[in-house]
Amino acid sequence: MGPAAQIIQALNWRRRRQQRLARALRKRRELALLVNRTEAIRPRDILLFCTLRNEAARLPYFLRHYRALGVRHFLIVDNASTDGSREMLAEQPDVSLWHTQASYREARFGMDWLQGLLMKYGHGHWCVTVDADELLIYPHHLTRPLPALTDWLEAEGESVFGALMLDLYPKGPITAQRYTPGQDPSEVLTHYDTGNYTITRKPDTQALWIQGGPRSRAFFADTPQRGPTLTKIPLVKWHWRYLYLNSTHTLLPRHLNRIYDDAGGEKLSGVLLHSKFLPEVSAKSAEEKHRHEHFGAPKDFAPYYDALVAGPDLWAPHSTLYRGWQQLEAEGLMSRGGWG
Amino acid sequence: MSARLGFIMLVHTALDRAAQVARFVAASGSPIVIHVDARVSATDHAAFKTALSDLPDLRFARRHRCEWGTWSLVAAMQSAARQMLDEFPKVERVYSMSGACLPLRPIADLEAWLRRHPDSDFIESVNVADVNWTKGGLSDERFTLHFPIGFKRNKWLFDRLVDAQRLMRVKRELPDGLTPHIGSQWWCLTRQTLDAILRDPMTPHYERYFKRVWIPDESYFQTLVRLHARRIESRSPTLGKFDHQGRPHVFYDDHLQLLRRSECFMARKVWHGADRLYEHFLTPREGGVSGAEPQPSRIDRHFARATLQRIRGRAGLYMASRFPVKNRENGKTAEPYSVFQGFTEVFQDFEGWLAAVASCRVHGHLFAPHKAEFAGREKIFTGGLSDNATLRDYNPRAFLTNLLWSTRGERQCFQFGPADTQGHRFDLLSFMASDSNAQISVISGAWAVPLYLSGKDSTEVRREAARLQRIETRMLEILQSPDVRARIRIWTMAEFLENPAEPLHLLFDEIAPHSQARLLRLPDLVDLGGFGTFLQELRNQGMQPVLMGDFPLNPTSPDPSHRMK
């Protein structure tokens, strides 16, 4: 690509980013503020942003996990929950809560809403942006809370932290398990796949596109291109100009996608433990199949929902029992980089 | 309590931690002079002073505004050191530390240890000509160029100034008598040496020079000490290594045991939130003075491993934060592996035989068109790899690197051939051929044997034979190209069958060098009685099978009782 073409491309990306940001500002109107505790936010606090719907079962552990890691304030958009999630969140002393009945899909799967909040409250903070079924872990997370991590990243000159989304699943049919709210999901979802991930680099954004894991082998074996995207950039030192382009998979400006070393070395990275496959997934999938609020072309994913509703068993003889971050680090699913 | 060891401490952040450490040091009776960066706000500074106001032998030095990499840090140290020598005449040695340092042993231990090394100055001081660890590209240029502004103030301008001076071939003259030395700014000097450095009549001259040197706090004392010391121990008394980019490693709670066992006196730097470390090491300990020698090597190794992982990474690993571009992989795959082409075709149950004689995992055609033939024909293999062909062919190279990464510690062998998935433009074979872990052995033309045995109709066989020969020709070109890194051996089928024992023996020496005793018998050959005629039939049909070599019309099969060796 010539220099002129590069400039044009860069301008195009900028325009796209600006349009999306403008759209996010418009979409702020869809949010109704329920509880505002944002005055409690202090300059170096780590913030967490999340959109959710009916996550009453996951929330107790979710809040506990991130509080233990050092998140100081939660900014949450509730998308029409009917299971008491909203009431539970409103009572938490470190949660600010917004509510909307609008379409999740129309708001770019909730990202437009979060984008507006990030712009207003996230600027200058390290911000965790995750779903309610994603638990961030990283090397040494039990002894070094998020402020230790972000101090280190800042000293390294980094403003982003990448993670692989790792699907956890139980041994036996999904629906045959029992989960009690407040329980660590990895006690029920005990297994994961260690080494069936494929990576390509997207030429336009330089972002990595990681796919694979149990969902790819069990549900998308014949249409691997539809397999879930597992690249995530859940922790960013936010600037109001930044934009999550596509869920938390890709960021703009494009240089923020360089969560990897391309000269052979390893950067520090983490894992998002994905607790999608708790027993409630099959009931939720039945609902989602009809709501059409997920995926760009929801009809293509009807077989996927059907498979989930049936309560499949994702376990295979080579599934690995989850034992903690040291194991994930040794297996190369995350890396300590130079953080010894 | 003796007060012969004094500390100067530079503080700019985490004042609460610095106060804790100052209090611990002062409790041993040692005087301490603290320099608080002038950029610290007045309120924070006042609170810090108040918190320490009860300590009698604690002073605050004249404040300088400190900027990393510039003279201001040396000025701060000079002020603090001067004050220490002037106000505490009994002090015989001065130890320089930062607010992020943490004493790991009682100060009494340190004093006892220093007494065992009288007249020695502990300061890392390495001739810049011999240095290979300066990070960030500047070593002797630190001394020969001008650095009027700090790197952190304006990175762009800093770099341009360096570029411009390089272009103009600027070369500053060093003051007479100085040989530039660099090293850690955390040292412990005797009063005599420090006093001599501070009082040197040439000081104004030296200062003028060092004010334009890059990172003078790593070179001012380190250079001048060479003029005044009686005995230099060129090592920092403070444990603190730097990573590949010149940043100090940081200690956290999980380093507690490592630090404890290191027997070092002081560690830098400690994360301000490491509650357990501060609590453990700042709790006064019972018992007498310990004479243990510092053993920093374990910690050094720990961090060296991390640095290596950051720079080189783990060979054969492709993941979210390691995705090397082509030829920067530091090892394309994780472990050595063997690829056999044509062996299952000419031998009966080659897989079973190989698995029995060599202790390695033997797969069938991993890249067979219908499915991946894992050893034991498992449906899901190690790491969760599926035998589904579509899934595998979505990224065959990743399939291979994943397999080799997940089975580290066990050699993998698999069959390959022209009928298998080749990837986009023979991507898979090109990758293997350029991988020094690969051992690729080819019996060319052997793909014709299954055709011969299939008994299919001759037009179909002819078409398939032509297709496979075309593909294998292309494969052989790749294997014979000049930039291959794999161990590659190619025989024509005719060549191979003349004496199959020799090539097999050769291969086994590489795969399983210690299992020769078990190599009793060759695997049985497929019955090739009519194969020559079959080839002739292909020729008669107008196809030209060449890759199998000059295969005789009626071959004499090798002696069945043939043994290896």
What is d(CA A280, CA B487) in angstroms, rounded to the nearest whole number? 53
pLDDT grade for B520, boundaries at 50, 70 and 90:
low
Reported as a single tens digit per residue, the pLDDT across B99-111 is 999 999 999 999 9
The answer as to whether B456 is a domain residue is yes
CA B5 to each of CA A34, A227, B553: distance values in angstroms, whole numbers, following the listed order: 61, 66, 96
Mean pLDDT to the nearest integer, A293-321: 88
* Residue B562 reports pLDDT greater than 50: no
The answer as to whether B415 is a domain residue is yes
Instruction: Assess whether B161 and B18 both reside in one domain.
Output: yes
What is d(CA A31, CA B181) in angstroms, rounded to the nearest whole number? 63
Instruction: Assess whether B404 and B519 both reside in one domain.
Output: yes
Residues 6+ apart with CB under 8 A from B183: B123, B124, B125, B126, B218, B219, B222, B234, B236
* Phi-psi domain of A109 (left: phi exceeds 0; alpha: psi -120 through 50; beta: other): left
Mean pLDDT to the nearest integer, B407-432: 95
What is d(CA A50, CA B153) in angstroms, rounded to the nearest whole number? 37
The answer as to whether B163 is a domain residue is yes
How much is the pLDDT for B515? 63
Task: List the CATH number of the domain containing B58.
Answer: 3.90.550
How much is the pLDDT for B563? 42
Reported as a single tens digit per residue, the pLDDT across A169-218 is 999 999 999 999 999 999 999 999 999 999 999 998 999 999 999 999 99
Determine, for residues A332 and B317 on separate chains, whether the beta-carbon distance falls below 8 Å: yes
pLDDT grade for B428, boundaries at 50, 70 and 90:
very high
What is d(CA B157, CA A188) in angstroms, rounded to the nearest whole number? 56
> To the nearest whole number, what is the mean pLDDT of chain B?
91
Compare CB distances from A195 to B313, B382, B391 and report the shortest one's residue.
Answer: B382
How much is the pLDDT for A311? 87
Compare CB distances from B380 to A145, A224, A318 and report the shortest one's residue.
Answer: A318
Q: Is A44 at the interface with chain B, CB within 8 A?
A: no
* Residue A163 reports pLDDT greater than 70: yes
* Lowest-confidence region among A103-107, B212-216, B265-269, B514-518: B514-518
The answer as to whether B122 is a domain residue is yes
The answer as to whether B383 is a domain residue is yes
Instruction: Assess whether B378 and B229 both reside in one domain.
Output: no
Query: Which domain covers residue B457, as residue numbers?
Result: 338-540
The answer as to whether B266 is a domain residue is no
Which domains are assigned to chain A? 3-330 (3.90.550)
Interface of A with B in 153-212 (CB under 8 A): 155-156, 162-164, 193-201, 208, 210
| Residues of A in Cβ contact (< 8 Å) with B314 | 266, 332
Q: Is A152 at the interface with chain B, CB within 8 A?
A: yes
Task: Give the chain A residue nearest B273 (alpha carbons).
Answer: A148
* Residue B362 reports pLDDT greater than 70: yes
Compare CB distances from A199 to B310, B318, B391 and report the shortest one's residue.
Answer: B318
CA distance A74 to chain B (A): 22
CA distance B305 to chain A (A): 8
Three-state secondary structure along B333-381? CCCCEEEEECHHHHECCHHHHHHHHCCCEEEEECCCCCECCCHHHCCEE
Determine, for residues B383 and A319 on separate chains, whether the beta-carbon distance falls below 8 Å: no
Interface of A with B in 304-333 (CB under 8 A): 316-319, 332-333
How much is the pLDDT for B518? 53
The answer as to whether B215 is a domain residue is yes
CA distance A82 to chain B (A): 36
